[in-house]
Structure 1
Amino acid sequence: MSRRAELANSSPPARDTPGGRRVLITGGASGLGLALATACLGRGDRVLVVDLAETRPSSVPEGADYLRLDVRSQQDWDAGLAHVRDRWGGLDVLVNNAGVATGGRIDVESISDWERVLDINLLGVVRGCQTFTPLFKEQRAGHIVNTASLAGLIHGPGMSSYNAAKAGVVALSETLGFELAPWGIHVSVVCPAFFRTNLHESLQGKDTAMEETALKLITRASMSADEVAEIVLKGIDRHKRVILTDRLGRQAFWTKRLVRPAYNAMATKAGQKLARKSGNA
């Protein structure tokens, strides 16, 4: 019997209820990822935090495993898969949470900035899904949780690369939800509005005006990462396909779908304001 088959046959049964689940969280050393890791540990889950630091960051909570994993590296993803197979015999919840912030007008933001955000925020999620889907199919159980953003559903001006990446994550999640259901695999996409986190530290594009706006929206947001994490976990427990985390997000989501003229007027006004600010109108 091959090592792969041996591990699959000896795996503990996958769990679909809170407590005792095996959870891998990318970008888990800070922000929403850290908040989710802490909350999962508090429920009695086993947690593997993966992030970019070569050695275990001091922020990673006691009781969690740590592994360096760059979501742009398939080799790193393979190491993450090997880790959960060897240590736990499988995985119950994959949280594709790692991401970077970006903002920029189409004629200001560079192609290299586009390539960076798509490689991390979209293809990083794709790599995670591709890596762990075979394991989940073997188990005939599992839950993929992809962190997108309200920007994946509501596409305001001045954020085309970020909006495109997050909309891609939403589309991917919806697709996989239907594609993987026959194997008992659930897929959720998380679409929060702005909340207080360190995401702004990843800003490094050419459009400094847009990045200043993003900085204010993140640092002055009313919700904390811990509050968002609590809502996300409840959504995971209920197998919600789309997890909206705040009132503003729900209002914008339903306005776009049910009152499209009002949504268009709001977005048009935002575009005009951005043009005036840049001195082009």
Structure 2
Amino acid sequence: MRNYSGACALVTGGASGLGLELVRLLAADGARVLATDIHESVDPSLLPNGVDYLRLDVRSDDDWAGARTWVQSHWGHLDVLVNNAGIAVGGRIEAAGMADWDRALAINLMGVVRGCHTFTPMMKERRSGQIVNTASLAGLVHAPAMATYNATKAAVVAVSETVSHELSPFGVDVCVICPSFFRTNLASSLEGADREMEESATKLIDEAPRSAAQVAAAAFAGMRAGKHVILTEPDGRVAYGAKRYARPLYELGMKSAAKRLAKGKSPQPGAMQVADRLARARAAKS
């Protein structure tokens, strides 16, 4: 199990939600933490004692260069990079505009790419380190009316796997967190044209059974264990397992969600559809 005592860690999107909870867990484990976010400043009481804050827009090469300079001048190296910053985006394929795609790709995908590009040389030189990328269950299980979000998160999963293989000879571990819906302020970033789907997504986020702290605890345990793909909820594990090993059930769940959508009903999350169908199939066999 990895111990973060004395480690130097940078977390993007670290002023709220999952990022803030990971900042708190890293600090509690003894890490020196630089929390970054898009805000110019944050309330000092928001962050644990000893945690530093730096404004970082993950779309900006200049901001990433500034973060690297900060790390070099204060610590001289980086042990843990958590690429967590992201936005919610969704909508049916004909409704999501090109501006929605550009914004999602710039933040959700290229923010991760820029982070890895900036700090990989530092970790390779020391032949140690850990990169943690936040994707989503949507990067593995692709529900309808979420093409934009699914695509960016699937790309984060692909980048994470690729970089994991690439950096293994240098002692650098890479993992990707893939949570399902959980309660956070992520819905505030929705600003697309498909208002019906965004209202549905907001409800799913606001009424999710898990908090950001609960998801962070599961993610942190996976980080410490060095897991490459971290699924933080049981329904996510069921849905991803069904896609891999019970594909017909997976397809039924996704098509059921799509039928509800076509009838003008709020689609149940695809992962839940798959989990429900798998549970009924198991019950029928027993």
2:4 aligned residue:
18
Please tell me the residue identity of whatever aligns with 2:169.
Answer: P
What is aligned with 2:261? Answer: 274
Q: Give the secondary structure class of the aligned counterpart of 1:120.
A: helix
Within 1, Cα distance between the matches of 2:234 and 2:36? 30
Per-residue CA deviations over 1:11-69 (Å, capped at 9, x if unaligned) read xxxxx522221110000000000001111111111100000111234423332100000
* 1:102 match: 89
Q: What is the deviation of 1:233?
A: 1.2
With structure 1 as the length reference, what TM-score do the two structures score? 0.92
2:156 to 141, 165, 169: 169
Secondary structure of 1:277 counterpart: coil
Equivalent residues of 1:28, 1:60 under 8 A apart: no
Residues 3 and 29 in structure 2, CA contact (< 8 A), matched pair in contact too: no
Letter in 2 for 1:17: N
Q: Secondary structure, in 3 states, of the residue corresponding to 1:206?
A: coil
On the 8 A contact 2:7/2:80 being kept in 1, the answer is yes
CA shift at 1:206, angstroms? 0.5
- What is the distance in 1 between the residues matched to 2:111 and 2:257? 30
Match of 2:241 in 1: 254
- Over the aligned positions, Cα root-mean-square deviation in angstroms equals 1.0
Deviations 1:124-171 (A, max 9, x none): 100000000100111101100000000000000000000000000000
Aligned position for 1:33: 19
Name the residue aligned to 2:230.
243
Residue number in structure 2 paired with 1:43:
29
C-alpha displacement at 1:232, in angstroms?
1.1
What percent identity do the matched residue pairs reach? 53
* Matched letter for residue 150 of structure 1: L
Residue 250 of structure 2: which of 263, 267, 271 is its match?
Answer: 263
Q: Which runs of 5+ in 1 are unaligned?
A: 1-15
Determine the C-alpha separation between the residues in 1 that align with 2:64 and 2:248.
44
Letter in 2 for 1:75: D
Report the Cα distance in structure 1 between the residues aligned to 2:197 and 2:50, rounded to whole angstroms: 39
Looking at structure 1, the residues matched to 226 and 101 of structure 2 have their Cα atoms a distance apart, in angstroms, of 32
The 2-side partners of 1:137 and 1:57 are apart by 35
Match of 1:151 in 2: 138
Higher mean C-alpha displacement, 17-26 vs 94-103 = 17-26
Q: In the alignment, which residue of structure 2 is the partner of 1:77? A: 64
Q: Secondary structure at the match of 1:49?
A: strand
Amino acid at match of 1:156: A
1:200 Cα deviation after fit: 0.6
TM-score (norm 2): 0.90
CA deviation string 1:222-279 (max 9, x = no partner): 111111111111111111000000101000010000000000011111111111118x
Matched residue of 1:243: which SS?
strand
What is the distance in 2 between the residues matched to 1:143 and 1:240?
11
Residue 231 (1) aligns with residue 218 (2): yes
Secondary structure class of the residue paired with 1:256: helix
SS of match in other structure, 1:48: strand
Taking the TM superposition and a 5 Å limit, the aligned residue runs for 1:171-250 are 171-250=158-237
**Match of residue 133 from structure 1:** 120
Letter paired with 1:41 = A
Residue 119 of structure 1 aligns with which residue? 106
SS in 1 for 2:264: helix
8 Å Cα contact 2:37-2:54 kept in structure 1: yes
Which digits, 9 at most, give the CA deviation of each residue in 1:80-114, with x for residues without a partner? Answer: 11111110111111000000001100101110011
Match of residue 160 from structure 1: 147
User: After the TM superposition, which of the residue ranges 215-224 and 163-172 deviates more from structure 2?
Assistant: 215-224
Q: Which runs of 5+ in 2 are unaligned?
A: 266-286
